[in-house]
Amino acid sequence: MTVTIKDVAKKAGVSPSTVSRVLSNHPRISKETSQKVKEIVEELGYHSNIMARGLISNKTYTLGMVLPRPAEELFQNHFFSESIRGITTQASRQGYDVLMTAGSSEQDEVEAVTRLVKGRRVDGIILLQSRKNDPIISFLQKEAFPFILIGHYGSEDILCVDNDNEQASYDATVHLISQGHERIGFVSGPTNLTVSEDRLKGYQKALSEHGLRMEPDWIVEGEFLQESGYRAMAFFMNLPERPTALVVIDDIVTFGVLRGLTELGYKVPDDLSLVSFNNIALSELSSPPLSSVDIGIYQLGYMASQLLIRHIDEDKPQQLRTIVPHKLIVRESSVNLRRNWS
Amino acid sequence: MTVTIKDVAKKAGVSPSTVSRVLSNHPRISKETSQKVKEIVEELGYHSNIMARGLISNKTYTLGMVLPRPAEELFQNHFFSESIRGITTQASRQGYDVLMTAGSSEQDEVEAVTRLVKGRRVDGIILLQSRKNDPIISFLQKEAFPFILIGHYGSEDILCVDNDNEQASYDATVHLISQGHERIGFVSGPTNLTVSEDRLKGYQKALSEHGLRMEPDWIVEGEFLQESGYRAMAFFMNLPERPTALVVIDDIVTFGVLRGLTELGYKVPDDLSLVSFNNIALSELSSPPLSSVDIGIYQLGYMASQLLIRHIDEDKPQQLRTIVPHKLIVRESSVNLRRNWS
DNA sequence: CTGAAAGCGCTTACAG
DNA sequence: CTGAAAGCGCTTACAG
C-alpha cells in the first residue's frame, strides 16, 4: 500500500542502496541514475519513512515544546501564540517540525519531557518560560540534551534567548520620571518567574538613580491576569499617599487596572499614568491607548528555533545568551499632556 | 549510551521478546518475570524508542496540525491559542502528542501535509480552519487519511466539530431585534471561510422571519482585523440611512468598530448597538463591555482531538458531525437601557 | 559508480 | 510462559 524504497528501486532497476543515495544527494552517483530514480520517486509519490530514517540517524527533525499549564498560561495568550508562531515558522523553514505536549502538573510536565527525550522523539527542546528551580531544566542538564530557554535561569550557563528585561523596565520607569512623576508604583507578576524579578530590578534601579522614593507599598505582586490589575488598582487607590504612575508587568494586567479606574471615575493618564509590557495588538485600541514596551515576542520564538537548531547541528554554541531588543512605544496612557503642551 | 531493550533484557536475565511483552502488558507472562523486568526498567530509566516501535506498529501517537499562515492567522490569536490548548490537552490525556508545521503559502501547506502523511509522521490531522475548496482536504480524502475539520466543508461527509454558526448568528440577531432594532447591519469575515457564510445566513434568516428590511448596503465584508471593523464603521456611519445595530463576525473586529465610534464621539449602545462572536477575555473589559456569542473554542479543540483519536483507533466514526453548543452573553454593548428600565 | 549485507531498536507470529 | 528468528523501512561501511 505505502510506497517504499524497494518499490522505487525495483521500478528503477537499481538497488535500494542506490535509491537511498540519490535521495540523500550522495556525491558519487551518476547523473543518469540519479535522474531516473528521481523520476520514479515523483511518479510513485514516494516519501521516505521518517521512523525508519530516524531509527538509524538518530535524528527526528523535530523540536519539542511543553505547553504551559492552564493555570500559568491563561495570562499569556498573546505571548504564547506569538512565540509559537515564531518558533514554528522558523523551524519549518529549516526543515523541522514542532511537537507539543501538555502536562497538568509539574510532575506531568517532567514526565512528558522525559518521554520525549528518552524516547528520542525530538532533537531538542524549547522552554517557553523561565521559572526558578525548574526540574525540567535540571533534568535536561543532567541528560546533556540540547535545549533552549526563552528567558534565563539565574546566571547558569545555558542556551537562551531573552530580552534585557531589567533595561526595558528601567526605560519604562525613566520615561515616567521624564513625564514629571515622582511617586511611581510597580505591579509585578508571579515571583517564581525570572521576568518578574528582572523588571522589578530595572524599576528600582531607575528610581534609585533618580533619587526617588522607594515605597514597599507601591510594589504589588500578582499574576498575569486582569483580576490582578484590578486588585492592584484598588489597593493603590486606597493608599493615603498613592503613586501617580505605574509600571505594569503585562498589558493584560493593565487592562484590569484601566477597567477599575474607569469604574471609579478616574482618568488615565491624568489621575494615574500607565506603562506596561508586551505591546499586544489591543493596547493600541484601548482608551486611552496604552504605552507599552514591545519585547519582540515573535522574534524571541524565531530566534529560539534558529539557535536551538544550530546547537543541534553544530553542537558547540558560540554564544549562550542572545538578547532580543525591546522598544518602548509611547501612547496616551503615559503622556502628561499639560506638561507636553506647555 | 541510550538504554535499549537489550540492556534491560540482559540485566533481567530474560530475552528482549519477554521485555517487550512485559512492556505491552501481554497477558501470558508470569508475575515474577513481569515484576522483575519492571524493576530493571525503572532502575535503568528505560524508555522505548518511539521510532523503532512506530516502524513496526505503523503508529506514531501523534496528531498533525498545520499552523494557519500569518496573513490569515493574525486575526485569530485567541481562537488559535485556545483551540490548540484544547487540542493538546486532550491529546496528551489520551497519550498523543501534537505536531505542528507551518507553510508560507497554500502550496507549502499542502506539501507539509503530504510530508506528514506520506512520511507516516502522524496518525491523523486536525484542520483548524474550514476554507472553501481546500486542496488539503482533497488530498486527505484521496489518501483516505484520518482527519478532522474544525468547521465544516459544504455538506461533504467528513469528520468535523463545528458550532451551529447559523443558529448562533440567528440568536444574536434576534437578540438585537428584541431590543427594538429594525435596521440591523452585518460585518462579515473573509468570504472563503464557511463560518462567514453560515453567520450571514443566520442573520438573514432572523431578519426575514421578523419581516425586517434587508439592505445590501448594511452588509460589509472584511477580515478578522480591527482595521476591518474601523472601516466598516466609517462606511456605515456615512450612509444616508444607517443601521442602529450590528452583528459582527468577531470580537476583534468589534474593537475596531468601537474605537472608530469613540473617536467620532458616538456612544455604544445608544447610537449603535453591537453583538459579536468569540467572547474573548477582553470583550468583558472593554467599555462598554461587549455582548458576544461564546462558541466554546477550547471545547472545539478538545473534541477535535478526542474524536480524531477515536476515529484512528476504531476506524468507523459513528457520527460525522459534532456540534459544540454556543451561548450568547449579553453585556452593555447591546442593551438598550431606556427600554429595559421602562 | 553501485550492490549485498548488516544493523538501527523494537514487535510478533512460530515453536516449544 | 518464554526464546530465537524474521522483519518494519531505511542507511552505510565494505567490497568491487
pLDDT, tens digit (0-9, with 9 covering 90-100), for B246-299: 999 999 899 889 888 988 889 889 999 999 999 987 788 777 889 999 999 999
Whether residues B66 and B154 share a domain: the answer is yes
Is B70 a member of any domain? yes
- Give the tens place of pLDDT for each residue, B100-120: 988 888 888 898 899 899 888
Phi, psi of A235 (to 5 degrees): -60, -50
Whether residues A70 and A133 share a domain: the answer is yes
d(CA B25, CA A228): 48
Number of structural domains in chain A: 3
DSSP A312-332: HHHSS-S-SEEEE--EEE--G
Supply the pLDDT for residue B340.
Answer: 43
Instruction: Tell which residue, B291, B276, B299, B298, has the closest CA to residue B329.
Output: B291
Whether residues B178 and B201 share a domain: the answer is yes
Whether residues B130 and B234 share a domain: the answer is no
User: Which cell numbers in the block locate residue A15?
Assistant: 538497488
Chains A, B: CB contacts within 8 A come to 143
Q: How many CB atoms lie within 10 A of CB B341?
A: 6
* Average pLDDT for B178-187: 95
d(CA A324, CA A82): 14
d(CA A103, CA B97): 11
Cβ atoms B228, B202 nearer than 8 A: no
Supply the pLDDT for residue A164.
Answer: 97
Cβ atoms A158, A217 nearer than 8 A: no
Whether residues A270 and A152 share a domain: the answer is no
Assign B338 a pLDDT band (cuts: 50, 70, 90).
Answer: low
- Give the tens place of pLDDT for each residue, B223-247: 888 788 888 999 999 999 999 999 9
The beta-carbon neighbor of A92 closest among B45, B89, B102 is: B102
The beta-carbon neighbor of B89 closest among A54, A102, A116 is: A102
Instruction: Tell which residue, B322, B329, B315, has the closest CA to residue B301.
Output: B322
Question: Residue A186's beta-bridge partner residues?
Answer: A219, A247
Is B305 a member of any domain? yes
* Average pLDDT for B5-14: 88
Whether residues B336 and B217 share a domain: the answer is yes
Minimal CA separation from B212 to chain A, in Å:
33
Supply the pLDDT for residue A76.
Answer: 58
Whether residues B118 and B250 share a domain: the answer is no
Supply the pLDDT for residue A29.
Answer: 80
Burial of A248-271, coded b for 16+ CB within 10 Å and e otherwise, reads bbbbbbbbbbbbbbeeeeeebbee
Is B54 a member of any domain? no
Q: What is the CATH number of the domain that holds B18?
A: 1.10.260.40
Q: How far is the CA of B17 from the C1' of D8 (A)?
A: 16
Provide the percentage of residues in chain B whose pLDDT is more than 70. Answer: 95
User: Which cell numbers in the block locate residue B118?
Assistant: 506520506
Residues of chain B with C-beta less than 8 angstroms from the C-beta of A101:
88, 92, 97-98
> Which parts of chain A have pLDDT scores under 50?
75, 339-342
Supply the pLDDT for residue A186.
Answer: 97
Place of cell 473573509: B190
Is A55 a member of any domain? no
Minimal CA separation from B51 to chain A, in Å:
5
The beta-carbon neighbor of A262 closest among B51, B92, B287 is: B287
Whether residues A199 and A335 share a domain: the answer is yes
Assign B81 a pLDDT band (cuts: 50, 70, 90).
Answer: confident
Is A54 a member of any domain? no
B55 touches strand C (CB under 7 A): yes
Whether residues A70 and A149 share a domain: the answer is yes
Provide the percentage of residues in chain B whose pLDDT is more than 90. Answer: 49
Q: How far is the CA of A29 from the C1' of C1 (A)?
A: 6
- Contact (CB<8Å) A88/B82: no
Residues of chain A with C-beta less than 8 angstroms from the C-beta of B88:
67, 100-102
Residues of chain B with C-beta less than 8 angstroms from the C-beta of A85:
67, 70, 73, 102
Whether residues A203 and A291 share a domain: the answer is yes
Is B57 a member of any domain? no
Is B53 a member of any domain? no
Is A56 a member of any domain? no
Strand D contacts (Cβ < 7 A) comprise A 2, 4-6, 16-17, 19-21, 23-24, 46, 48-49, 52-53, 55-57; B 13-18, 21, 26-30, 32-34, 52, 55-56
Supply the pLDDT for residue B72.
Answer: 52
Q: What is the CATH number of the domain that holds B100?
A: 3.40.50.2300
Q: Is the pLDDT of residue B220 over 70?
A: yes
Supply the pLDDT for residue A35.
Answer: 86
Q: Which nucleotides of C are covered by protein (CB under 7 A)?
A: 1-5, 7-13
Supply the pLDDT for residue A11.
Answer: 87
d(CA B202, CA A84): 34
B144 touches strand C (CB under 7 A): no
Residues of chain B with C-beta less than 8 angstroms from the C-beta of A305:
none
d(CA A48, CA A29): 19
- Contact (CB<8Å) A104/B97: no
Q: CA nearest B281 in A: which residue?
A: A226
The answer to whether the Cα torsion of B233, B238, B239, B245 is positive or negative is: positive
- Domain carrying residue B226: 165-294+328-341
Question: Residue B233's beta-bridge partner residues?
Answer: none
- The answer, yes or no, to whether the previous bond of B70 is cis (omega within 30 of 0) is no
The answer to whether the Cα torsion of B204, B210, B215, B219 is positive or negative is: negative
- Contact (CB<8Å) B45/A118: yes
Q: Could you give the 3-state DSSP secondary structure of residue B97?
A: strand
Whether residues B107 and B150 share a domain: the answer is yes
Question: Residue A65's beta-bridge partner residues?
Answer: A100, A126
Q: Is the pLDDT of residue B12 over 50?
A: yes
Assign B93 a pLDDT band (cuts: 50, 70, 90).
Answer: confident
Instruction: Tell which residue, A90, A91, A128, A89, has the closest CA to residue A109.
Output: A128
Tell me, what DSSP letter sits at residue B265? T
Whether residues A207 and A333 share a domain: the answer is yes
User: Which cell numbers in the block locate residue B38?
Assistant: 519492571
Poorest-confidence range of A4-8, A313-317, B182-186, B187-191?
A313-317
